[in-house]
């Protein structure tokens, strides 16, 4: 009975993630559909399927996970890493992964064909326990570089001219460079908005809801200093670190892979310059105060933009409340002491008890603004976790009204 209940729980978890990915990443949905089917399979499914089921339950039962998605994401990323490295044991999967197909290669094979399930099962069987050992220690560090728009737009609405930029859960810190890239926001009903200093087209974001009252092109604030914090900072100077980031991208999305490679190239070009991001190791929420003291100078000359994107999704409620208290305990007196604003931009999945997302998997987007010790919470809207689509709300106008002299 216990195994039956456990099976139902994991099949439901896998099905929810498959439903989210289905219209956006057919390959990811197909992998999850196959995995869920094999986990749910009863006796007679075959030796390979039974062996996979035993390994899966040993894997998920070996530790306590931060959330239901963590082991699934770890498995998918670890498998993708083997494809990216050209492991011959997964050679049969390469035709389905657009991230490894060259520009002159025909389109990827369709993962909904029966051959895909056979190749996937063969690859998982060939990797065996090795895949699970690697997945257990794998760091989910997506560093989705489109999420930089989440802090660029509020900064534009508040007309912030210069700022200290601080990211919580920064991974490799690539979203700290968003002001140097290009984001094109487009509305189906008409209207465009361009953010960032980049010239070449990079991110195109489909928007619904009101268009902000801003010029067609907005210059980002001058970033006085860039600081990222993570308990497990991805050191991009280490061998294989870039592959680790790349493997967290869904395997049929070469555009996201290209955006990642552009960010990595930008980071390399900034190395050793004043514009380079500084990365700090910090465990949140316990070391929040120490982090903020290290990130913001004693005598600041500009406001602070603090942001986190899909970070507190991995926090339990106790730790999340502790983080909120720690940031407020620092930001409120800071604004009184220095007569400067503090902006905390948040892009996170809704927590239990909050309003549900308008679409499966979308993130709530809101800001906390402290000015002269007063806190203002403004809901900006919702967005796909990869920021391919944004649903904007009346909070944009509300945030604009909070503009004030710095």
pLDDT band for position 64 (cuts 50, 70, 90):
confident
Q: What is the pTM of this model?
A: 0.92
Q: Report the share of the chain in percent with pLDDT over 70.
A: 97
Q: State the pLDDT at residue 115.
A: 94
How much is the mean pLDDT over the chain? 93
pLDDT digits (tens, 9 = 90+) for 10-38: 999 999 999 989 988 999 999 999 999 99
H-state helical runs in 276-378: 288-295, 317-338
Mean pLDDT of 226-241: 91
Q: 151: how many CB neighbours lie within 10 A of its CB?
A: 30
Q: What Cα–Cα distance (Å) separates residue 363 from each residue in 312, 356, 360, 383?
A: 11, 10, 9, 5
Mean pLDDT of 43-55: 89
Q: Are 153 and 76 in contact (CB under 8 A)?
A: no
Residue 242 clears pLDDT 50, i.e. is over it: yes
Residue 1 clears pLDDT 70, i.e. is over it: no
177's CB contacts (< 8 A; 6+ apart) are 148, 226, 263, 266, 267, 270, 277
What are the tokens at 73? 């994401």
Query: Can you tell me the distance from the alpha carbon of 397 to that of 380, in angstroms, rounded to the nearest whole number?
Result: 9
Work out the angle between the directed axes of helices 70-84 and 114-137 (0-180°, nearest 10): 110
- Domain extents in the chain: 2-137, 145-400
Mean pLDDT of 136-144: 83
pLDDT digits (tens, 9 = 90+) for 77-131: 999 999 999 999 999 999 999 999 854 456 788 898 889 999 999 999 999 999 9
Query: Can you tell me the distance from the alpha carbon of 9 to that of 26, in angstroms, rounded to the nearest whole number?
Result: 23
């Amino acid at each position: 009975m216990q195994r039956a209940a456990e099976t139902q729980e994991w099949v439901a978890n896998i099905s929810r993630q498959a439903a989210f990915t289905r219209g956006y990443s057919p390959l990811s949905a197909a992998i999850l559909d196959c995995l869920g089917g094999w986990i749910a399979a009863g006796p007679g499914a075959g030796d390979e399927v039974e062996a996979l089921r035993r390994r899966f339950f040993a894997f998920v039962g070996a530790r306590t996970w931060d959330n239901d998605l963590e082991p699934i994401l770890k498995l998918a990323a670890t498998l993708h890493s083997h494809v990216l490295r050209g492991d011959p044991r997964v050679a049969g999967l390469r035709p389905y992964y657009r991230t490894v197909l060259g520009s002159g290669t025909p389109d990827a094979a369709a993962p909904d064909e029966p051959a895909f399930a056979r190749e996937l099962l063969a690859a998982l069987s060939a990797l065996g326990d090795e895949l699970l050992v690697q997945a257990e220690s794998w760091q989910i560090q997506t560093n989705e570089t489109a999420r930089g728009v989440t802090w660029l737009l509020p900064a534009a609405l508040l007309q912030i001219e210069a700022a200290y930029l601080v990211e919580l859960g920064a991974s490799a810190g690539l979203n700290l460079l968003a002001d140097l890239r290009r984001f094109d926001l487009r509305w189906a009903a008409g209207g465009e908005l361009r953010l960032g200093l980049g010239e070449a087209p990079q991110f195109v974001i489909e928007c619904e809801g009101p268009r902000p009252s801003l010029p067609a092109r907005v210059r980002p604030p001058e970033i006085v200093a860039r600081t990222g914090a993570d308990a497990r900072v991805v050191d991009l100077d280490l061998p294989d670190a870039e592959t680790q980031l790349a493997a967290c991208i869904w395997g049929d999305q070469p555009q996201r892979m290209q955006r990642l490679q552009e960010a990595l190239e930008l980071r390399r070009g900034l190395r050793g310059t004043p514009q380079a991001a500084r990365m700090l190791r910090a465990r949140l929420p316990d070391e929040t105060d120490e982090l903020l003291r290290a990130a913001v100078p004693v005598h600041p000359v500009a406001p602070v933009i603090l942001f986190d994107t899909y970070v507190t999704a991995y926090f339990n409620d106790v730790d999340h409340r502790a983080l909120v208290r720690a940031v407020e305990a620092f930001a409120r007196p800071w604004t009184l002491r220095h007569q400067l604003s503090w902006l905390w931009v948040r892009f996170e999945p809704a927590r239990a008890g909050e309003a549900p997302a308008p679409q499966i998997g979308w993130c709530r987007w809101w800001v906390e603004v402290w000015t002269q010790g007063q806190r203002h919470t403004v809901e900006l809207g919702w967005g796909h976790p990869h920021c391919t689509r944004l649903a904007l709300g009346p909070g944009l106008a509300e945030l604009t009204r909070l503009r004030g002299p710095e």
